[in-house]
Chains A and B, each alone.
Chain A
Amino acid sequence: MKNITVAGKALTLIFVAVFLVACSSNDTKEADEAAAVAASAASAASAVAAAQAAEQAASAAQAAVITRLEDAAATVGNVFYFEYDSSTLTPSAQASVDAHIALLNTNEQTIRLEGHTDERGTRDYNMALGERRANAVRDYMVASGVAGYRAESVSYGEEQPVAYGSGESNWSQNRRVELK
């Protein structure tokens, strides 16, 4: 609707221009030439306007799709959780990553995948385990069409817990990959 209005305004402007050119001239021939130029300009302008309109309609539709994908990604969140001593994506983590892949496939954004573990086990081994988790998410994204160079894995091991206490209720919150 908005695009049609824009095209209409362009045509109006061209008619006004023809009218002004015609009125300012005393020579009929000149006026005719001016009218011809104006007519051809008008026809070109209407083609451009139509193309613009189509493009704008398409981009509006795409924007709506992206908004929907962004909403979907925001709903699942940017944290993916893992089982103890495992770097295998759980079905629920995979579904969450899928939402982000759908969005990433619409843009060229680069991302960071930060891998984390719970406090059990040694710090340096956990540093390696955190990387394995981040890489598991990255590999799955790459397999789903996201270019590998766009995703960087950084492991924080057990150094940045979300929940400080011990016990599974805390540990399960800390075994994660955060997409940033």
Chain B
Amino acid sequence: MKCLVWRESKFAMRTVLGLGLLLAALGARAELVIEITQGVDNPAAIAIVPFAWHGAGAAPEDIAGVVDSDLSRSGQFAPVGRSDMLGLPSTEKEVFYRDWRAIASEYLLIGRVSVTDQMRIEFDLFDVLRQKKIYSGVELGPVNEARMLAHRVSDKIYQQLTGIRGAFATRLLYVAVTRVPGGKDYFRLTLADSDGARPIVLLESREPVLAPAWSPNGQEIAYVSFETNRPAIFRQNLRTGAREQLTNFRGLNSSPSWSPDGRTMAMVLSKDGSPDIYLMDLATKKLTRVTRHYAIDTEPSWMPDGKSLLFTSDRGGKPQIYRYTLASGQTERLTYEGSYNARARVAQDGRNVVMVHQKNGKFHIALLDLVTDRVQVLTSTELDESPSIAPNGSMLLYATKYAGRGILAAVSVDGGVKFRLPARDGDVREPAWSPYMSRPAATKQVDNHLKD
């Protein structure tokens, strides 16, 4: 047995090293590929001119290119092709509005990039029709975080033009799986930028890894791993790589969900019989049982105010969404439309809930408005699951099947914008969109847990 574990670990180690080399060779090349399938009817035309590079050698990153693809992906903008541009200004003095009116561009973004000890990106946004500068900004940060700085430029532009804070400078967790028919699949818990670039494998295992979740400050994650031959909940610090096994109970140990204040983790345990929701105080590890029902109670998710939890229960015969209020201990059923509503996630506004909803035998992602109780189906694919909403509430990521493979897909909360993020190979699933990050943080890649 020991020998087997050792051999497996050597194999897994090789794979991790192999991936590292692959990543080094590909640079920022993503495991995920973005395919935009549907945008808004009249996206705003914006010209994003390549930013001038004031430094030695070649520019380390095409900042304007990153901004261009971010804004395209939002579905609300139609960037002008570079070959259509009649000039390539990088300062306000070089801007001739007629050049941009001539190609029907409503907005114009120009910028300058330089590097001393840090990278400095200066940029200016113009309204072509009104012929005026509407925003100027500067982003500063480490050169190796150039892409994240570019996403921060996108966030600023998006906010200026839509009034909504951008969520491009965020990250994704997902589980990538390599199938091994007749054997054990490879599971890789992966962290990437919100556009799928710069993937980092945080954990690789031959046993299932699932249910990744973010801490509210974006510095830690939690997930379920079967590496001990049983399900157990782990937490992991992204900066230091420190890892802690939080549970090891007989039965289910699933669905970790961090409270908004970061102190408590909701989880599902079946140690006392049937699956119930428990709260763990992360400082003392003390457990409090929240639900007591012989039915399945699972998939807890906090309301943004931390005062109540949504969860899935089949106490009514079929899985439906319920809300548990901590102060009163009261439980109320929230969904009545359809025979299967599960795995709710709440937007930061505390109003929009995304969930898995079965209709005509097919599983879609639906939006439940907690004020009007209206349910709106957002997706038309089948076998949709694991919705995860962006911190600005504009888009949500989910997992689905496409051409027989597990892929990630995104849809705006109004259903108007859609894109797919299939993996270059293998299956991807269980996206978890990070909260806003205060600043770009270096991530420590964790060695394979089987190493010892």
Contact = CB atoms under 8 A, between A and B. Distances in A.
Interface of A: 119-125, 127-129, 131-132, 152-157, 159-160, 164-166
B252 A123 contact: no
Given A119-B383, A155-B252, A156-B208, A124 B231 contact: no
A51 B179 CA distance: 58
B296 A129 contact: yes
Nearest to B185: A160
B353 interface: no
B320 to A, nearest CB: 11
B386 A125 contact: no
A119 to B, nearest CB: 7
B250 A152 contact: yes
Given A131-B275, A132-B296, A124 B255 contact: yes
B368 interface: no
A125 B363 contact: no
Interface of A is mostly: mixed
A152 B271 CA distance: 12
Contacts of A127: 231, 252, 254, 268, 298
Given A123-B210, A124-B312, A131-B252, 15 more contacts: A122-B319, A122-B342, A122-B356, A122-B386, A124-B255, A124-B268, A125-B343, A127-B231, A128-B270, A131-B251, A155-B231, A156-B208, A159-B226, A160-B184, A164-B179
B243 interface: no
B404 A124 contact: no
Given A123-B430, A156-B226, A128 B340 contact: no
A34 to B, nearest CB: 57
A167 to B, nearest CB: 11
Contacts of B211: 123-124
A165 B401 CA distance: 10
Contacts of B385: 121-123
A171 to B, nearest CB: 11
A162 B403 CA distance: 19
A122 B231 contact: no
A154 B211 CA distance: 17
Contacts of A125: 296, 298-299, 312, 314, 319, 342-343
Contacts of B252: 127-128, 131, 155
A121 B181 contact: no
A101 to B, nearest CB: 22
Most buried by B among A125, A129, A164, A166: A125
Contact of A128 (B181, B210, B275): B275
B230 interface: yes
Contacts of A160: 184-185, 208
Interface in B403-419: 404
A63 to B, nearest CB: 28
17 contacts: A121-B385, A123-B210, A124-B312, A124-B343, A125-B298, A125-B299, A125-B312, A125-B343, A127-B252, A127-B268, A128-B275, A129-B296, A131-B270, A132-B296, A156-B208, A159-B208, A164-B179
Nearest to A134: B251
A121 B399 CA distance: 12
Interface in B249-301: 250-252, 254-255, 268, 270, 275, 296, 298-299
A179 B9 CA distance: 26
A157 to B, nearest CB: 8
Interface string B226-250: 1001110000000000000000001
B382 to A, nearest CB: 8
Nearest to B355: A122
A166 B404 contact: yes
Contacts of B268: 124, 127-128
Contacts of B229: 154
Given A128-B270, A131-B251, A164-B181, A121 B296 contact: no
B398 to A, nearest CB: 11
A170 to B, nearest CB: 11
Nearest to A119: B383
A122 B299 contact: yes
A62 to B, nearest CB: 30
Contacts of A120: 363, 383
Given A121-B363, A131-B251, A159-B210, A165 B404 contact: yes
Contacts of B255: 124
Contacts of B270: 128, 131
A129 B268 CA distance: 13
Nearest to B314: A125
A11 to B, nearest CB: 48
Interface in B71-86: none
B294 to A, nearest CB: 11
A124 B386 CA distance: 10
Contacts of A121: 319, 340, 342, 356, 363, 385
A18 to B, nearest CB: 54
Interface in B195-246: 208, 210-211, 226, 229-231
A68 B46 CA distance: 78
Contacts of A164: 179, 181
Given A165-B404, A166-B401, A124 B251 contact: no
Contacts of B210: 123, 157, 159
B368 to A, nearest CB: 15
